[in-house]
Amino acid sequence: MGSNASRRPRIGITTYLEPAAWGIWKREAALVPQVYLDAVVAAGGVPLLLPPVGTDPSVLEILDGLVIAGGCDVDPGSYQATPHPETVDTRPGRDDHEAILIRAALDSDVPLLAICRGLQMLNVTLGGTLHQHLPDVVAHDAHRPEPATFGTVEVKTEPGTLTARILGERADGSCYHHQALDVVAPGLKVTARADDGTVEAAEVEGHDFALGVQWHPEENPEDLRLFTALIRSTS
């Protein structure tokens, strides 16, 4: 739905369902890193959290934009592949949840920004596949240098694309992933790559704003161009 001029755009953000601790409690909780919320707010939006339970695509009727957040490995069963030994800690329920929301966003042309795992889910939802362990393909670990340590990736964008209009010819981003796009889904256009050939951004053809990036733009509060572009696309 389009934004009402009297309010800030409502941006849904998908969440994790994970064991968590707060105060004296240790329980399952729906959560997402605060940097996603801060990025949406700083760009001019209002974040609304979408837990991977009770999925109802009609929630898109009250949203102006959707962010598919990063997180765990995508279940290879989603694209009919045998699990790689390095594919661990999958969440098939979250995969299903996000696939439903992605399809609903595309069907209703709600602006969509898919981040890291989100780009992978966008590709898988549309019929693509993944490299399950990127070091097997590029022969290095720079995209996930150490546990809980972000790497830095420089990407080159494709001229004439939405990605290039937002970011220019080249951009740097914080990355932390060991899976990446392999077979690109029909209707999904690659719009940026790393120097090692890794797909770093892709757009769904025929939509004004349906963009996925493999890096984590929310980790850089000094560069909100992707989030700002998402917010502006809702008007």
Residues annotated as catalytic (active site), given as ranges: 116, 216, 218
**Alpha helices in the chain, H assignment, sequence order:** 34-42, 92-108, 117-125, 135-138, 162-167, 225-233
End-to-end CA distance of the chain: 9
**The Cα angle at residue 202 between residues 229 and 105, in degrees rounded to 5:** 65
Q: Residues for the chain: how many in total?
A: 235
Helix (H) or strand (E) holding 115: strand 112-115
Main-chain dihedrals φ then ψ at residue 17, nearest 5 degrees: -120, 105
